[in-house]
Amino acid sequence: MLNHRLLTFLESWYGTRYRYGGIDSTGIDCSAFVQSFLVTLYGVMLPRTSQEQFTQCRKIKKSALQEGDLVFFRTQRKKAVSHVGVYLRNNKFAHASTSSGVMISDLDESYYSARFAGAGRYRMENESSR
């Protein structure tokens, strides 16, 4: 079971359409979704783009993922990170998908496993399960 604050946050955004550069309920992109998540739940402000978020986070192993950590992907031909989501539990993560808006996906789905670029943590260790 996800912690109550995270579940409430996800419920408030779930199904919101994707809009490149979007930052609100009329449309949001992946990095703004992650920004909103960390500000709302942990009071942590992130850079605006997924590549900057990846560059500045504390890298962790995939096997060390905890609820609230970030997962990064290379979804375009270039080598830069171009997509980010919030890890939930049991290999699931929430993100703003270009095709379906804010949704939950599985890291083991072939599309995401082939494009996984790494994982990172911004929040404080002692705030992992409020």
Catalytic residue among 28, 30, 32, 34: 30
Contact 96, 30 (CB under 8 A): yes
**30 assigned to active site:** yes
DSSP 27-43: EE-HHHHHHHHHHHHH-
**83 assigned to active site:** yes
Catalytic residue among 9, 41, 72, 95: 95
Catalytic residue among 83, 85, 107, 123: 83
**57 assigned to active site:** no
Number of helices (H), then strands (E), in the chain: 4, 8
Active site residues: 30, 83, 95
